[in-house]
Amino acid sequence: MNPDSIGSGVTVMRSTCPLCNRELLTKWCPAEIPFFGEVMNITSQCDCGFRYSDTLILTQREPVRYELTVKNPEDINARVVRSTSGTIRIPELGVDIEPGPASEAFISNIEGVLSRVRDMLETIVRWNEEGKKERALELLDMIEKIIAGEAEVTVIIEDPMGNSAIISDNAVSRELTMEEASCLKTGMIVFEPD
> Does residue 91 share a domain with residue 166?
yes
Q: Which residue has the higher pLDDT, 60 or 64?
A: 64
Does the pLDDT at position 186 exceed 80? no
- Give 153-174 pLDDT, tens digit per residue: 999 999 988 888 999 999 999 9
Range of the domain at 34: 2-57
Q: Which of 109, 89, 107, 87 is nearest to 98 (CA)?
A: 87
For the chain, what's the residue count?
194
CA–CA separation, 192 and 158 (whole Å): 20
Please, what is the Cα angle at 29 between 25 and 35, to 5 degrees? 145
Predicted TM-score (pTM) of this structure: 0.72
> Does residue 172 share a domain with residue 101?
yes
Q: What's the pLDDT score for residue 52?
A: 84
Tell me if 189 is assigned to some domain. Answer: no
**Boundary residue ending a domain (36, 57, 78):** 57
Tell me if 148 is assigned to some domain. Answer: yes
CA–CA separation, 34 and 24 (whole Å): 31
If pLDDT is split at 50, 70 and 90, which confidence band does 189 have?
very low
Tell me if 193 is assigned to some domain. Answer: no
> Does residue 167 share a domain with residue 141?
yes
If pLDDT is split at 50, 70 and 90, which confidence band does 7 have?
low
